[in-house]
């Protein structure tokens, strides 16, 4: 094996002996490095252009200190050694379609140190074989491919934990593993759609997507660790129908960015802290497409926070399913959920803050407490929505304010004894045949609104223990009012008796505060 050095100031073709010397800064004309040799293009090589007129196979390549250009064209470089097989230079440039193929099939470890500082000067690497540990030192990469062409196995060793930036596609092999750690994979392409293939390998490290104008499309499920964060800062994250599983997910900033769910979902497995963080009203710019679904599956025992995003800051609300944990789940005030579902696996408490639900609410009977407090839960949907209480007491004020929305209870509603049910807009349908107990019932605004039962002709009971209800702009049908309170729905206040109602006082209020009842 011989060591070859690109000559001082050399500009020319790789496959020319005149450009190679046997010492750094030496005289050229010896030979072209072959498959058993090493090559160096270093500080003494100057600032010329090294043109790959062939696709050479050598042992290692070192470019430390090189200030010129490595022009790949459509050719590649194959490296067949162990140890440090490639060292780049922050001062060098690359052109063409730069790719280095690592072919050693042994169990000995290898290290690649690309040291590129820009997207334009990044190099693609393909590791086709070997079972030894592979260390991709901190640096910038274009494509990273661990397969052997059409063979999905390829590299079968352990990828060491490092921090790196990837500007192109990422493709894992089915035989490899990833060492867990805090080193972040940052996907930073600024144009085009890049693909991410994990081949069912768990990448127990943080992920960041941060390329202005970039787009990243999953080719299969992406799974990270329960303590790792996935952050979308810029660009488009396209789930492409697959599941992104991560401990924590965050996209709370003011940059232009998109989560394209399609039919995919995000599953967060963290057991404490803010496990999902969408934008607040001051951090806008997030576009949501597809059927946006987040599954919260971590078995929390203390406190978790889910912030789906403020309705002013995102193009569409996100649905959440809480399926595990015995802890308290909170959200920041002002957040908007689409569908909010609690399956039987969650036995904890959902904290009380001001929040909105655009879609359906589904509770389970095992919840310790749901939103107990004075902050209002507002339903804002504009289509047909369902509410399932599962026998849980909702101990907070509820307001219905969805223009054109219909909110149908699937079972009885029980509010806390001091909590108000207010209809501002839309249609509220209480479950026929049930008794629905509220602290107080009220209407607000001058838009006509509707109180009905879910089955035409079959009453639902509304019960308030004391006080006086003075409804306005309310059309009532199939409602039995009871419990001890006085239920006024005077037609002079724009109320409408649509039939099959009992316990309501319709008619017209007189000037002394009484009413004229019509039967």
511 has pLDDT over 60: no
Q: What b/e sequence results for 484-513 when a residue is b if at least 16 CB atoms lie within 10 Å of its CB, and e otherwise?
A: ebebbbbeeebbebeebbebbbbbebeeee
Which residue in 282, 334, 324, 280 sits closest to 304, CA to CA?
A: 324
Averaged confidence pLDDT in the chain: 95
**Backbone phi and psi for residue 19, each to the nearest 5 degrees, phi listed first:** -95, 5
Is 382 in the same domain as 409?
Answer: yes
Q: What b/e sequence results for 99-121 when a residue is b if at least 16 CB atoms lie within 10 Å of its CB, and e otherwise?
A: bbbbbbeeeebbbbbbbbbebeb
The helix/strand/coil state of 17 is helix
How many domains, the chain?
Answer: 2
In a domain, 192, yes or no: no
515 has pLDDT over 80: no
Tell me the percentage of the chain whose pLDDT exceeds 90: 92
Is 342 in the same domain as 480?
Answer: no
What pLDDT shows up at residue 115?
87
In a domain, 408, yes or no: yes
What residues pair up with 350 in beta bridges, in sequence order?
329, 370
d(CA 71, CA 51): 5
The pairing of beta strand 515-516 with beta strand 508-509: antiparallel
In a domain, 228, yes or no: no
In a domain, 232, yes or no: no
What pLDDT shows up at residue 282?
82
Is 254 in the same domain as 296?
Answer: yes
d(CA 206, CA 185): 6
The pairing of beta strand 361-362 with beta strand 377-379: unpaired
Is 330 in the same domain as 264?
Answer: yes
Contact (CB, 8 A) for 107 and 133? no
What pLDDT shows up at residue 281?
83
Is 361 in the same domain as 401?
Answer: no
Contact (CB, 8 A) for 132 and 106? yes
Tell me how far apart the terminal alpha carbons of the chain are, to the nearest angstrom.
108
Q: State pLDDT tens for residues 38-69.
A: 999 999 999 999 999 999 999 999 999 999 99
What pLDDT shows up at residue 510?
59
The helix/strand/coil state of 43 is helix
Calculate mean pLDDT across residues 194-217: 98
Dihedral sign from CA coordinates of 319, 324, 343, 371: negative
Select from 323, 357, 372 the last residue of a domain. 372
Rg of the chain taking only CA atoms, in angstroms: 33
Contact (CB, 8 A) for 360 and 339? yes
d(CA 161, CA 47): 34
Q: What b/e sequence results for 162-199 when a residue is b if at least 16 CB atoms lie within 10 Å of its CB, and e otherwise?
A: bbbbbbbbbbbbbbbbbbeeeebbbbbbeeeebbbbbb
Hey, what's the torsion of the CAs at 350, 351, 354, 357, to 10 degrees? -10
What pLDDT shows up at residue 383?
94
What residues pair up with 325 in beta bridges, in sequence order?
346
Is 440 in the same domain as 326?
Answer: no
Is 358 in the same domain as 414?
Answer: no
Contact (CB, 8 A) for 118 and 93? no
In a domain, 125, yes or no: no
Is 380 in the same domain as 452?
Answer: yes
The helix/strand/coil state of 2 is coil
Is 412 in the same domain as 498?
Answer: yes
Is 292 in the same domain as 312?
Answer: yes
Select from 342, 372, 402 the last residue of a domain. 372
231 has pLDDT over 90: yes
What pLDDT shows up at residue 315?
85
What pLDDT shows up at residue 93?
96
386: enclosing H helix or E strand: strand 384-388
> By mean pLDDT, which of 256-265, 308-317, 342-351, 435-444 is the weakest?
308-317
298 has pLDDT over 80: yes
In a domain, 516, yes or no: yes
The helix/strand/coil state of 18 is helix
What pLDDT shows up at residue 9?
82
Select from 372, 396, 417 the last residue of a domain. 372
Backbone conformation region of residue 146, classed left if phi is above 0, alpha if psi is from -120 to 50, else beta: alpha
d(CA 474, CA 427): 10
Residue 153: which pLDDT band, with cuts at 50, 70 and 90? confident
d(CA 93, CA 74): 16
Tell me the percentage of the chain whose pLDDT exceeds 70: 98
Is 348 in the same domain as 393?
Answer: no
What pLDDT shows up at residue 518?
41
Locate tokens 């049910």: which residue?
421
d(CA 77, CA 102): 9
Q: State pLDDT tens for residues 387-413.
A: 999 999 999 999 999 999 999 999 999
Which residue in 162, 145, 10, 140 sits closest to 88, CA to CA?
A: 140
In a domain, 503, yes or no: yes
What pLDDT shows up at residue 509?
76
In a domain, 165, yes or no: no
Instruction: Show the domain range for 299.
Output: 247-372
Q: State pLDDT tens for residues 240-295.
A: 999 999 999 999 999 999 999 999 999 999 999 999 999 988 889 999 999 999 99
Which residue in 374, 381, 370 sits closest to 336, CA to CA?
A: 381
384 has pLDDT over 50: yes
Contact (CB, 8 A) for 138 and 114? no
Is 359 in the same domain as 399?
Answer: no
314 has pLDDT over 90: no
Calculate mean pLDDT across residues 165-175: 97
The helix/strand/coil state of 385 is strand
**Backbone phi and psi for residue 86, each to the nearest 5 degrees, phi listed first:** -150, 135
């Amino acid at each position: 094996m011989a060591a070859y050095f690109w000559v001082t100031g050399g500009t020319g073709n790789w496959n020319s002996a005149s450009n190679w010397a046997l010492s750094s800064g030496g005289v050229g004309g010896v030979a072209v490095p072959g498959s058993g040799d090493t090559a160096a293009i270093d500080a003494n090589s100057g600032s010329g252009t090294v043109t790959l007129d062939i696709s050479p196979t050598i042992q290692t390549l070192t470019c430390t200190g090189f200030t010129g250009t490595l022009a790949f064209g459509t050719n590649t470089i194959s490296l067949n050694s162990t140890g440090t097989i490639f060292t780049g230079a922050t001062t060098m440039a690359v052109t063409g379609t730069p790719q280095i193929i690592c072919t050693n099939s042994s169990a000995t470890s290898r290290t690649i140190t690309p040291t590129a500082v820009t997207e334009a000067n990044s190099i693609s690497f393909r590791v086709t074989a070997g079972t030894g540990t592979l260390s991709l030192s901190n640096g910038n990469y274009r494509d990273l491919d661990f397969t052997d062409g059409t063979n999905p196995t390829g590299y079968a060793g352990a990828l060491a934990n490092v921090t790196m930036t990837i500007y192109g596609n990422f493709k894992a092999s089915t035989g490899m593993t990833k060492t867990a750690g805090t080193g972040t994979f940052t996907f930073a392409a600024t144009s085009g759609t890049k693909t991410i293939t994990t081949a069912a390998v768990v990448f127990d490290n943080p992920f960041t997507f941060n390329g202005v104008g970039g787009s990243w499309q999953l080719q299969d499920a992406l799974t990270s660790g329960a303590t790792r964060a996935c952050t979308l800062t810029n660009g488009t994250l396209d789930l492409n129908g697959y599941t992104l599983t991560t401990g924590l997910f965050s996209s709370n900033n003011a940059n232009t960015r998109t989560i394209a769910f399609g039919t995919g979902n995000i599953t967060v497995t963290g057991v404490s802290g803010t496990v999902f963080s969408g934008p607040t009203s001051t951090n806008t710019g997030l576009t949501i497409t597809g059927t946006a679904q987040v599954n919260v599956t971590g078995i929390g025992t203390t406190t978790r926070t889910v912030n789906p995003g403020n309705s002013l800051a995102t193009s569409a609300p996100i649905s959440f399913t809480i399926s595990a944990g015995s802890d308290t789940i909170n959200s920041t005030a002002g957040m908007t959920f689409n569908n909010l579902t609690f399956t039987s696996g969650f036995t904890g408490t959902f904290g009380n803050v001001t929040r909105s639900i655009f879609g359906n609410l589904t509770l389970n009977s095992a919840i310790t407490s749901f939103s107990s407090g004075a902050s209002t839960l507002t339903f804002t949907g504009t289509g047909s929505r369902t509410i399932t209480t599962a026998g849980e007491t909702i101990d907070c004020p509820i307001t219905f304010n969805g223009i054109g929305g219909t909110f149908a209870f699937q079972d009885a509603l029980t509010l806390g004894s001091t909590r108000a049910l207010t209809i501002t807009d839309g249609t509220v349908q209480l479950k026929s045949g049930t008794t629905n107990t509220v602290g107080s019932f009220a209407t607000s605004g001058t838009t006509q609104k509707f109180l009905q039962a879910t089955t035409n002709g079959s009453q639902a009971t509304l019960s308030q223990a004391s006080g006086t209800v003075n409804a306005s702009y309310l059309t009532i049908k199939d409602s039995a009012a009871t419990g001890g309170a006085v239920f006024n729905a005077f037609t002079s206040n724009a109320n409408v008796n649509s039939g099959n109602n009992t316990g309501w006082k319709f008619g017209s209020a007189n000037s002394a505060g009484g009413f004229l009842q019509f039967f």
